[in-house]
Amino acid sequence: MIALFARFGRGRTPVAPLEYTRRWWMRGWVGLVLLFLYLPLITLIAFSFNDSRRNIVWRGFTLDYYDKALNNTSLMEALLNSLTIAALATAVSVVLGSLAALWLWRFRFPFKAGAEGVMALPIVVPEICMGVAMLVFFARIGFPTDLVWPFNLGAITIAHITFCFPFVTMVVRSRLTSFNREEEEAAKDLGASEWQALRDVLIPHMMPGIVAGALLAFTLSLDDFVITFFTSGPNTITFPVKIYSMVRFSVTPEVNAASAMVIAITVILTTVALKLQSRSGISAQGH
């Protein structure tokens, strides 16, 4: 405490030339940008507790709209659909993405640059083009639309896996570049088989990348509107598609409440994933 006062007592040390972060205009700019990014979200969350239909002036605290949103069956169905799709898409994407990363990292083969290009394509292709392609594809092969839940989500899930797993590949592959091949050779030198070396040395090293990739896949899937919009039918409404149709009508506190819940889910998931990642990141240190 005394040390703290002493520090203030001495006054601020002058700003050195490269301490850009300590210049007031820089701080002001960053502050304004953060305000720009967060103010709309914060007001959105705040007004989900507002006791007024019209969403304009503060009329007092209420949880009514959460109650309404939670009792809105079609909204809850949409949310359940979204979470199911995200979970399935993440599971498959992690497997496919990690395999592809290993493949591209490990092997040298003819037309590799081409393979890499195609792998990266789903990341860069405009969403609308991919949505269109999915619409045309499923219509062309006559993908059944009258299956029971959760099989009716198949088309959307397949579309999501297709654009999610290349992101997992990207993240895992960049993690793999820091892998020291001698660790694997040491494992084999100590008697491990190819598979045992993979399981005991390589996969633990990939783990932070896999966790980050899984988080990315889950959020991308939960977030996607455009591609889903083109692949969903009347019985397979996802959360973003549902919100879209609600927003087209009006701005209501119910939408605020539902949005606030999804933001909460995202923040919790991100925190958990970052925690996991930093822990496994520490345990996988030493390269």
- Region of 60 on the Ramachandran plot (φ > 0 left; ψ -120 to 50 alpha; else beta): left
Q: How far is the CB of 169 from other proteins (least distance, A)?
A: 7
Q: Which is nearer to other proteins, 80 or 99 (CB)?
A: 99
CA angle, 260 as apex, 222 and 247 as ends, to 5°?
75
Task: Give least dist CB 57 to other proteins, A.
Answer: 8
**Please, what is the minimum distance in Å from the beta carbon of residue 192 to other proteins?**
15
Q: What is the DSSP letter of 23?
A: S
Which residue from 87, 91, 251, 276 is in contact with other proteins, where contact means CB under 8 A? 251
Instruction: Give CA separation, 256 vs 71, 164, 192, 241, 246, in Å.
Output: 15, 27, 55, 15, 11
Q: In whole angstroms, give the CA distance from residue 160 to residue 138.
A: 14
For the CB of residue 63, give the shortest distance to other proteins in the complex, in Å: 19
Contact residue for other proteins among 134, 153, 197, 206 (CB under 8 A): 134
Q: Site mask, other proteins, residues 83-102, x = CB under 8 A? A: ------------xxx-xx-x
Q: Is 195 helix (H, G, I), strand (E, B) or coil?
A: helix
Q: Is 161 in the site for other proteins (CB under 8 A)?
A: yes
Q: How many CA atoms lie within 13 A of 188 on its CB side?
A: 10
With CB under 8 A as the contact rule, the residue among 64, 77, 127, 200 that binds other proteins is 127
Shortest Å distance, C-beta 90 to other proteins: 14
Name the phi and psi angles at 61, rounded to 5: -80, 140
Q: Is 268 in the site for other proteins (CB under 8 A)?
A: no
Q: How near is the Cβ of 138 to other proteins at its closest, in Å?
A: 8
Binding to other proteins, residues 17-76 (CB under 8 A): 17-21, 26-27, 29-30, 33-34, 36-41, 43-44, 47, 54-56
Give residues 194-223 in contact with other proteins (rule: CB under 8 A). 194, 219, 222-223
Q: Which residue has the tokens 């007001």?
A: 43
Tell me the C-alpha to C-alpha distance, in Å, between residue 162 and each of 21, 47, 149: 41, 37, 21
Shorter beta-carbon distance to other proteins: residue 30 or 63: 30
